[in-house]
């Protein structure tokens, strides 16, 4: 039996989590150690002021019919939530989570008809989604 995969039925969550990887030695890799330290200190100060987006991990989950697809990107630094959502969009994370979801469904033996533009349809529906905070 083949089931139609309707991208309009996919639920997406965009989550931000605190990053476990230390800022020092991971935020910058320029040829200028003084500049790297300056940027790292700015990120740490921003993080200590309560900006979770200053050093975080982005996790995007796509769910349909009891299945879940995931995409994640860690050790990122953003100015704010808008900047974070732009990063999610620029890295096509919703599309990637949707592709992973479709793979998971097929790996479980389901036969599904998937529209060619399924990832784009899902992504377009959630471009301005609210970010789930810890």
Nearest to 75 by CA among 25, 14, 26, 13: 26
Tell how far CA 35 is from the center of its chain: 28
The structure's pTM equals: 0.92
pLDDT given for residue 134 in this prediction: 83
pLDDT at position 3, please?
Answer: 86
What pLDDT score was predicted for residue 127?
73
> What are the residue ranges spanned by the domains of the chain?
2-20+55-132
Tell me what pLDDT residue 114 has: 92
Per-residue pLDDT of the chain (134 residues; tens, 9 = 90+): 678 899 999 999 999 999 999 999 999 989 999 999 999 999 999 999 999 999 999 999 999 999 999 999 999 999 999 999 999 999 999 999 999 999 999 999 999 999 999 999 999 888 778 899 98
What is the maximum span of the chain, computed from C-alpha positions, in angstroms?
A: 62
DSSP-derived pairing of the beta strands 111-113 and 2-4: parallel
Per-residue confidence (pLDDT) for residue 1, from 0 to 100: 63
């Amino acid at each position: 039996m083949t089931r139609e995969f309707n991208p309009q039925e996919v639920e997406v969550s965009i989550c931000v989590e605190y990053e476990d990887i230390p800022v020092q030695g991971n935020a910058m890799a320029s040829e200028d150690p003084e500049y790297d330290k300056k940027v790292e200190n700015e990120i740490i100060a921003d993080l200590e002021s309560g900006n979770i987006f200053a050093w975080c991990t982005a996790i995007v989950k796509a769910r349909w019919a009891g299945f879940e697809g995931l995409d994640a990107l860690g050790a990122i630094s953003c100015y704010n939530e808008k900047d974070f959502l732009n990063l999610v969009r620029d890295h096509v994370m919703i599309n990637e989570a949707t592709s992973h979801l479709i793979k998971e469904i097929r790996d479980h033996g389901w036969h599904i008809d998937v529209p060619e533009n399924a990832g784009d349809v899902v992504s377009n529906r959630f471009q301005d989604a609210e970010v789930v905070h810890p």
